[in-house]
Structure 1
């Protein structure tokens, strides 16, 4: 591929754009970053006094190698005892002769003592060292010119023995300049990013790519990885990252490791994005749309290259743009339409249709037969997509050649079978919900996600994208899980129990150990997420779920291992609620369905809500305090759904239990001592009857000496008196009005 000119019309002035966007701190041949840099740093080396970045086991590269050479001792002990200085700043070894300050030459002795020992016939070292005569001292204060070296100078040299040899190897430069070379002026070569070997324009492109990587903070990049990419670019003899397309760079980078190859692909992508116009004006005319240039997350592409008819390709682009601009998601607005139209294009090619005016009803009937090999759902999707395209062409006058008979009718759609909910059997759920099995998950985060999915019925995508502050409460302090329903594109709430609240709060405390500054999301991905802003991926959780199921050995009633997807817990919750006589409208609110027809998948009945009557009634708790639900507040619908759920499934003869269905009652049958109990004036006769029965129980218990039983019932009696007095007062006030 021929490289476009850096200022050519195809790039629209890439050089000018690079000059405008690359910040001064990145516009250097040598880039240095502190150890605490979130992307290019690794945190400070655990050795006190070392300023280099940690690269493995908490050590910098130098101390890491020393730790390995030492046999991998206890890291904390090694860090506290090893020399924090770089190897070239450490003093050279001193002669073994007591009082000698010369550096070693061979055998642990300086050159002078080594010759004396050899002339003596190499006697026993220890006895020889003990009898060595006094050493002649150099001039007072004479030491090696190297700042950190305290050894004596070698003969007339200004340096010790080892540094003298190094000085001679470098051609005997000026002693002062040679000594200055040992003074640390910055990071070592393996801790810096060096771009000086690249051509000027290519160097600027790499600087821009590194700046983008730093700003996005998706993952760490060590200077070593950047160095590998730089060496590849030099060897490839290119002047720009755009000299090859992505496929060409993948072929050239075959010898690189995955990290370096990923950085190269990232650099090519961001430079190409900068060079080419983004937005619809720049992307629409291309046959491959890079959707991140249109504001969509990820690196998904829509390919129109397989739509071989030019007129159909143009109509497909207009149709997809229209759907996406109306707010449909990438899959529904772009992926499925492109797939359906591409298949229709292949059918037209096989049948010899070249123009839009050749489309007619017989051709569509032929296509319906061609679709018969697909599943019912895919056939319905393809037919619906094409019908939408035909309607848009006529409605917006995109092409006048489309005949009025080119349309699909309701009878053309294959009948959708009425499928039963894919709920899990209760014996399977019993195994999944058992604490011992949940504890077998290899990560507490995956364990919590599983509990959230089972108890709330959220879709897995919505659960993984929960905000860190996802817990909210109503006026009564009842907890709810606030989430964004991505399918319906709206915020929603679902009642949860206090136990789940505690687990979520504990999880948030654990994430602070990894991200001390906190994270905006509840379940951040564990890798390539330096600031905790990226959510855990669905494939990652699905893999963890498979590992958990294997570890727990969950089996069905036939003894076979259970295979499930996270979405089946949503079906299970909906089916459980219906089976417990929860009204369908309440189930719809809990699952946040858009219409009763969606909830009808779990039941074929519809309940008339009683919210208006509930809001009109005055409710009091066991203390006699009035319970108020704000009908206009953001929690009104969710609070009503929670209350209606409890009322429908836990109705009492004298009131309603306000405890959520997901939470078991800690009070057995002592509802009048439960803080979740609510009642109204319609139950006053029952309250008075129970008060009389409670008095009789207390009298009988006292007569038999059952003090504990009498004490428990006195609490019930006190609460009954409070409730009756409060409700009587309320009735008197209403009558007076």
Structure 2
């Protein structure tokens, strides 16, 4: 602005931006002059920069690009800013440096085809690149003599699989997760099979990986957030100072949308049903389908101010490759789409810390995806149809939705309860074994056998829960045995036995048999206690 001599920001043009870039480049070139270079290498309290010219160039370029992006977003200049000059896009580095030319040609041809022909989402193509990168880096280390994919055979594939199983994560230092290994092997198998089917040169042209090579992973159930944790977490989210983070998490809570779907919401994403209930349009995402879902009023209230703010700014839309057109997004600041890390990861770390939802290492126990599991579970438990769960969560096939449905299937719960309470439904329990049965402290194998053979356990006054491997009961003190269980069905027999014991007590008193009096009195007292536990004490 000082150079132009005009403080009016609205007068800036594309020519000014280009002139500023040239001036910054010219100054960076001057830094190669030794006296100037030495001066700008000094940094108080920091280690001297080894390359001040390049450091300045990167810093200046980043700031100029930011200003250029802002001017482009508000429509003041028409040319879009370039990408990062110093780093470049991942699409410019599809094959690792040093990859043999024939391999490089195949990798670039394969990945460019998927990108240019829109054969998969950009994120999916990036996963392909990462899988091929691992294979190439392994070949460079283990088989440097191989310079083309057509030299690979099953023996190499088996060596790679063993090597992959020993690798660790660069971020955690832990062994690679099964899901990561599964993705790598699946994508490599697809690469080999597709290039063979297309008849390409310099490719394996044969089966290297089979379905049996794909690591098996446990099929887990959705990890919904328990009510008490959800209440504490939402209270902490309401206290977040940043309105974008707060709105993103509230929308995740009530919509079940994926993180990338929420951050790419358009300014016209919110409307209402005829009755006035809010409705949200979820953009095209992993399922390649746009969808409309009901939205809780709390989430709509958090989203509306951001929509109005975006409309007030009248920012230029960003091209969205998933829909092939320009879109005005809600979660943008100074022309930049806010990252998933900022909207969700950092926000949840703050909220979980406030709510006390941290593990032993101080990490949040709640992830954004668990909101999705929670809304799916709540829909299923509320009796929602399978088609409703699919529509809300954006599942392309019923497979994932069936997990929620089966988890909360009322028929399963009813049959489970019926099996557990077989012959005991609506009956009060008493006896030494009653507490163990109520608290589910019995071995699952024992419960299964008792449910199947309950009639075989019947005694005069109740049931004996001894298992066959424990042998027959060798004590006559049934009423005090830890395996004894009785129910209200046996109350008449217990009262009859109590009457008999009281008669025997009277007879023993008349005969002067003090020991018998004591023995029968203990039995009578025990029967009275059982009747009291069964709520039958007033009837004897």
TM-score of the superposed pair, with normalisation by structure 2: 0.56
- Partner residue of 1:584? 386
Which runs of no fewer than 5 residues in structure 1 stay unpaired?
1-25, 41-203, 212-225, 238-248, 268-290, 608-737
Structure-2 change in CA distance of 1:476 and 1:415 (3 Å): same
Matched, 1:380 2:353: no
**CA distance in 2 between partners of 1:229 and 1:399 (Å):** 44
SS at match of 1:490: coil
**CA distance in 2 between partners of 1:376 and 1:306 (Å):** 28
**CA distance in 1 between partners of 2:407 and 2:270 (Å):** 32
- Partner residue of 1:456? 255
- Partner residue of 2:191? 389
- Partner residue of 1:304? 95
- Partner residue of 1:515? 313
Choose which of 175, 200, 220 in structure 2 pairs with 1:419. 220
Which runs of no fewer than 5 residues in structure 2 stay unpaired?
34-48, 68-81, 167-175, 318-326, 410-540
Q: Deviations over 1:606-652 (max 9, x none)?
A: 99xxxxxxxxxxxxxxxxxxxxxxxxxxxxxxxxxxxxxxxxxxxxx
Structure-2 change in CA distance of 1:360 and 1:537 (3 Å): closer
Task: Indicate conservation of the 8 Å contact 2:199/2:205, yes or no.
Answer: no
Structure-2 change in CA distance of 1:38 and 1:518 (3 Å): farther
SS at match of 1:253: helix
Choose which of 196, 203, 208 in structure 2 pairs with 1:407. 208
SS at match of 1:414: coil
Structure-2 change in CA distance of 1:341 and 1:306 (3 Å): farther
Choose which of 253, 258, 274 in structure 1 pairs with 2:53. 253
- Partner residue of 2:349? 546
Shift in Å, 1:605:
7.7
**CA distance in 1 between partners of 2:265 and 2:114 (Å):** 27
SS at match of 1:482: strand
Point out which structure has higher relative CO (alpha carbons under 8 A, 6+ apart): 2
**CA distance in 2 between partners of 1:260 and 1:32 (Å):** 21
Choose which of 310, 315, 332 in structure 1 pairs with 2:124. 332
Alignment of 1:310-389 (within 5 A): 310-327=101-118, 328-333=120-125, 335-349=126-140, 350-351=142-143, 352-373=145-166, 374-389=176-191
Shift in Å, 1:383:
1.7
- Partner residue of 1:474? 273
Alignment of 1:60-459 (within 5 A): 208=18, 210=20, 231-236=27-32, 251-253=51-53, 256=56, 260=60, 262-263=62-63, 301-306=92-97, 308-327=99-118, 328-333=120-125, 335-349=126-140, 350-351=142-143, 352-373=145-166, 374-399=176-201, 402-404=204-206, 406-434=207-235, 437-459=236-258
Task: Indicate conservation of the 8 Å contact 2:99/2:136, yes or no.
Answer: yes
Shift in Å, 1:310:
2.4
**CA distance in 1 between partners of 2:52 and 2:363 (Å):** 45
Aligned length, in residue pairs? 358
- Partner residue of 2:402? 600
Choose which of 267, 290, 296 in structure 2 pairs with 1:491. 290
**CA distance in 2 between partners of 1:473 and 1:265 (Å):** 39
Shift in Å, 1:601:
4.0
- Partner residue of 1:91? none
Task: Indicate conservation of the 8 Å contact 2:265/2:329, yes or no.
Answer: yes
Shift in Å, 1:580:
2.4
- Partner residue of 2:43? none
Structure-2 change in CA distance of 1:481 and 1:364 (3 Å): same
**CA distance in 2 between partners of 1:493 and 1:266 (Å):** 35
Task: Indicate conservation of the 8 Å contact 1:458/1:570, yes or no.
Answer: yes
SS at match of 2:280: strand
Q: CA RMSD in A?
A: 4.3
Q: Deviations over 1:333-386 (max 9, x none)?
A: 1x2222222222233331343444432223222222222224322222222222
Task: Indicate conservation of the 8 Å contact 1:555/1:562, yes or no.
Answer: yes
Q: When you count helix as a share of all residues, which structure comes out higher?
A: 2
Shift in Å, 1:495:
0.4
Alignment of 1:667-678 (within 5 A): none
Q: Deviations over 1:294-313 (max 9, x none)?
A: xxx97764341346232222
Matched, 1:37 2:10: yes
SS at match of 2:93: strand
Task: Indicate conservation of the 8 Å contact 1:209/1:266, yes or no.
Answer: no
Shift in Å, 1:587:
0.7
Task: Indicate conservation of the 8 Å contact 2:115/2:122, yes or no.
Answer: yes
Alignment of 1:640-679 (within 5 A): none
Structure-2 change in CA distance of 1:256 and 1:309 (3 Å): closer
**CA distance in 1 between partners of 2:24 and 2:196 (Å):** 56
Question: Which entry has the higher C-alpha Rg, 1 or 2?
Answer: 1
TM-score of the superposed pair, with normalisation by structure 1: 0.42
Q: Deviations over 1:82-137 (max 9, x none)?
A: xxxxxxxxxxxxxxxxxxxxxxxxxxxxxxxxxxxxxxxxxxxxxxxxxxxxxxxx
Structure-2 change in CA distance of 1:38 and 1:501 (3 Å): farther
**CA distance in 2 between partners of 1:417 and 1:336 (Å):** 22
**CA distance in 2 between partners of 1:433 and 1:38 (Å):** 46
Structure-2 change in CA distance of 1:573 and 1:317 (3 Å): same
SS at match of 1:480: strand
